[in-house]
Amino acid sequence: MNITVTRVVQELPDGIDRLVAASRVEGVRNVEMLVADWRSGAQRFDTGGAALFCANVGGTLAGIGGITQQDGLDFPAMRVRRFYVHPDSRRHGIAAALAQACMTHGLATCSTLTCNAQASDAASVFWEAMGFERADLPTITHMYRHQ
The domains located in the chain, with CATH, are 3-145 (3.40.630.30)
CA 116, 118, 122, 124 torsion-angle sign:
positive
Amino acid 20: pLDDT? 97
Q: Bridge-partner residues for 77, per DSSP?
A: none
pLDDT in tens, 61-103: 999 999 999 999 999 999 999 999 999 999 999 999 999 999 9
| % of the chain with per-residue pLDDT over 70 | 100
Percent of the chain with pLDDT over 90: 87
CA 11 vs CA 15, 41, 46, 52, 144: distances in Å = 12, 11, 12, 11, 29
- Helix locations, 27-83, DSSP H: 30-40
44-68 average pLDDT score: 95
Mean pLDDT of 37-65: 95
The chain-wide mean pLDDT, for the chain, equals 94
- Residue 54: pLDDT band with limits 50, 70, 90: very high
pLDDT of 147 above 80: no
**Is residue 136 over pLDDT 90?**
no
- What is the model's pLDDT at position 121? 79
Q: With 90 as the cut, is the pLDDT of residue 1 above it?
A: no
Residue 138 has pLDDT above 80, yes or no: yes
**By the 8 A CB rule, do 50 and 69 touch?**
yes
The pLDDT of residue 122 is 84
